Structure 1
Amino acid sequence: MIRLLVILFTLLLAAPAGAHKLKVFASAEGTDIVGSAYFAGGDKAAGVPGRILGADGSLVAVFATAADGTFRQGVTARMDHIIAVESEDGHAARFTLPAAELPSSLPEGKAAAVSADTAALEAAVARQIRPLREQLDSYEERIRLHDLMGGIGTIFGLFGCWAWLQSRRRGP
């Protein structure tokens, strides 16, 4: 019985281990990939080296995050890009930016003016939506009170089921 309580208590203490999980988020602004690297607790990952890889794994670009954890890197091809960052202490993260978020190449002729307007509109919308996507991504990583209470409730519920089964085996 005491062993079980010690194990349960140890498991409860293990939850904050993800507090230093490195995350990376990126979006397209025109022909640039713009993003940030941060830890799950919200701290910015400054000076972290990163790579942008093509869909086939080929190296497209190398960068390092700024003091506020952000980065900006231009790309020349419309394809899926994999953004990979790795901190000095071994934390690593990857993010795939689909080709659909990058602008298509502009056709020649009259359609070019319409496409240029569309590309400018897409770039403006991407700049506005990017902070919201970042906020949502970081919000999903936080451990909230209801998550903690749900975990504790599950543990007590499982313990209650186990205790009930043990009492049924012993009989009246």
Structure 2
Amino acid sequence: MVVFSLALAAALLGPANQALAHKMKLFATVEGAIVSGYVYFSPGGRAQDAQITATAPDGATVFQGRTDPQGGFHFEAQRRVDYRIAADGGDGHEAGFTIKAAELPESLPGDLTAGNATAPTPSATMPPAVAVATAAPVPDLAALVEQSVARQIRPLREQLDSYQEVVRWHDVLGGIGYIIGLGGLAYGFASRSGHKLRRRLADGEKEAAQ
């Protein structure tokens, strides 16, 4: 019974260990037009020399490279569109992250395939002074605040993911210990019952001999 419990625990521990120890994550943020991020294992350290590919909504590859010794990467966005970033660490380790267009500066051109890709021109009847005044970009305070808050909060995601993985790992270990405990308890009962049975048989043999 104990051997069976240990074998069952080992069978459960193997897949759980692989699932928890080799979970790749990707985090990215925006500073102006610069998209930067890093790849890491949760739980674990940074992923070095992982393949990074960033694509635009039309499928065009806008960046391709590998992470540095700290698992980091960066590239400059040329358009204000959603960017899908994919990381490939080999051996089936993959992760993804999406940078939203709203996180990028409004000064960047939008999606060239969209119908409103061409910037509007001032009306011919509009006085020159008015046209110059309205052409100046107005900073979006809400967008600036959102980007600033995102830069402060997003790094906490890695810590949260690591904490969740540690909690799951503890749950797995607790379940394995519970299985082994039940196996030991069953073995104890079986041994005690067997001892009593052998004693009764021995007593029966003695009575028969007398």
TM-score range, shorter chain: 0.5 to 0.7
CA distance in 2, matches of 1:142, 1:113: 46
CA distance in 2, matches of 1:77, 1:137: 31
Partner letter of residue 134 of structure 1? E
Contact 1:78–1:104 (CA under 8 A) maintained in structure 2: yes
Contact 2:16–2:172 (CA under 8 A) maintained in structure 1: no
Q: How many residues get paired?
A: 157
Any unmatched runs of 5+ in structure 1?
A: 160-172
What is residue 26 of structure 1 aligned with on the other side?
A: 28
1:109 aligns with 2:134: yes
SS of alignment partner, residue 79 of structure 2: coil
Partner letter of residue 96 of structure 2? R
In the TM superposition, residue 73 of structure 1 has moved relative to its aligned partner by 1.3
Contact 1:32–1:73 (CA under 8 A) maintained in structure 2: yes
In the TM superposition, residue 119 of structure 1 has moved relative to its aligned partner by 5.5
1:34-66 CA-partner distances (Å, limit 9, x unpaired): 211011222111222211012343211112212
TM-score w.r.t. the length of structure 1 is 0.68
In the TM superposition, residue 87 of structure 1 has moved relative to its aligned partner by 2.0
Superposed CA RMSD in Å reads 3.5
Aligned-pair identity in percent equals 43
TM-score w.r.t. the length of structure 2 is 0.58
In the TM superposition, residue 95 of structure 1 has moved relative to its aligned partner by 1.9
Contact 1:33–1:73 (CA under 8 A) maintained in structure 2: yes
CA distance in 2, matches of 1:29, 1:81: 14
Q: Pick one of 61, 64, 72 that aligns with 1:62.
A: 64
Q: Pick one of 70, 73, 93 that aligns with 1:71.
A: 73
Partner letter of residue 41 of structure 1? P
CA distance in 1, matches of 2:27, 2:92: 18
Contact 1:36–1:69 (CA under 8 A) maintained in structure 2: yes
Q: Stretches of 4+ moved more than 6 A in 1?
A: 1-4, 153-156
